[in-house]
Amino acid sequence: MSHNIDQLAKKLAPHYSHFDVSNRLLFTGHSHQAWPDVAREGLHESFDVAASDVDNKWETAFEKVEQLRSYLRNFYDDPDGMYCLGQNTHQLLVSWLSSFNLQKKPKIITTDSEFHSMSRQLKRLKEEGLKIVTVDGHSDDIVEQIESQIDDQVSAVMLSRVYYNSGIINQHIPKIAEITRSHNVPLLIDDYHGTNVIPLSISDENLTDCYILIGGYKYLQWGEGNCFLRYPSNCNLRPAITGWFSSFSKLDESKEAEKVSYTDPNQLFASGTFDSTSQFRAAKVVEFFENMGLTPQVLYKQYQAQIKLLRNVFLEHNFNSEVIRLAHQQPVENMGGFLALQSPFARTIRAKLMKKGVFTDARGDILRFGVAPYITTQQISKAMNELKNVVSKINP
């Protein structure tokens, strides 16, 4: 186990010299993994292309976007899926929501464990009169809860594959999709914490008619500005909130037509002009992952081994459970790319760890240790030792 973790980590570390991953304890992988050195080349390339091609740079930029789409289609075993680029998942989510007649069908079903992009927006829409029904995301009867709430008022079901507050994988997605399909209700899956961590074959799991939110900032190492909404190739939604990049290829056509057209199938939920620098950067990362053999299965095995070791070392320290404890007792195979620790002092602990050079993340009473493919067994042990030092000075 240890040897396998270190074998890949030490092979990768020299390629992350700018982030200095060998000498730093970077455990915020679920928030922002380090970027490989080649990402910097992408930033230079974007400037050079803009300087040489001026307005014609978009042709090259769109080629970079297509590289990212190809990577995602491969990860999701989804050759026929459409992938719309967005600057963030919130923009894509809002555009998608605007496709529905929310006056006629004001009900949306979600869970209590969603990331802010979704939960905040739905909470605000509830203030405007929408009926937002929240079920227990971690309940064993989540499928039954959702089915009992579906009626002719429901526009959509929206939930995560990996919950951001616990790292637990929602094992019920295929069954939920089956239920929503039988009622002709669209299902949106937020996979920000699942992409590049937990392999998913959209075809094998029968999710080809589902919508999937994807973010490049976490485990993809693409950085900001590289989010996608995956949707079926036969999607006929017409978002009310729409930008001209949804019809970029037909800009010269008459604007007198009665209905707004959506002529670019991969850009159905697009906004307007975006900073293509991030796509140049991300394309270099895609090439790097391919060159280093970082396939979905290779990454999955590395993450599972790291999470297992991280949890075991945490348990070996026998922490005072009044100060900090595991957030749940789920087996490692039911977990994504971070270890969730529960503590009433989570934010204090995070701040004290940061002073010691240990990067973690805290939300509410959850302290999160995220892993990354370049993290070694020694770094895991060192980070847990630092946690022990910090916790020992806290009086419950």
Half-sphere exposure of residue 13: CA atoms within 13 angstroms, side-chain side? 17
CA–CA gap between residue 12 and residue 285 (Å, rounded): 13
Confidence of residue 244 (pLDDT cuts 50, 70, 90): confident
Question: What is the separation of C-alpha 230 from the centre of its chain, rounded to a whole number of angstroms?
Answer: 12
State percent of the chain over pLDDT 70: 97
Q: Taking 60 as the threshold, does the pLDDT of residue 2 lie above it?
A: no
Tell me, what amino acid is at 8? L
Reported as a single tens digit per residue, the pLDDT across 259-317 is 888 988 899 999 999 999 999 999 999 999 999 999 999 999 999 999 999 999 999 99
| pLDDT of the residue at 1 | 46
**CB burial class (10 A; 0-12, 13-18, 19+) of residue 49?**
buried
DSSP 100-134: S-TTTS-EEEEETT--HHHHHHHHHHHHTT-EEEE
CA–CA gap between residue 15 and residue 133 (Å, rounded): 46
| pLDDT of the residue at 280 | 98
Structural contact between residues 228 and 85, judged by C-beta atoms closer than 8 angstroms: yes
**CB burial class (10 A; 0-12, 13-18, 19+) of residue 66?**
middle
Q: Which domains does the chain have, with CATH numbers?
A: 2-34+295-391 (3.90.1150.10), 40-287 (3.40.640.10)
CA–CA gap between residue 170 and residue 189 (Å, rounded): 10
When pLDDT is averaged across residues 117-137 and rounded to a whole number, the result is 96
Comparing C-alpha atoms, which of 130, 107, 124, 197 is closest to residue 160? 197
Structural contact between residues 302 and 5, judged by C-beta atoms closer than 8 angstroms: yes
Structural contact between residues 162 and 336, judged by C-beta atoms closer than 8 angstroms: yes
Reported as a single tens digit per residue, the pLDDT across 17-51 is 999 999 999 999 777 899 999 999 999 999 999 99
Strands of the chain (E only): list them: 25-26, 82-86, 107-111, 131-135, 154-160, 187-190, 211-215, 227-231, 325-326, 338-342, 358-359, 361-363, 366-370
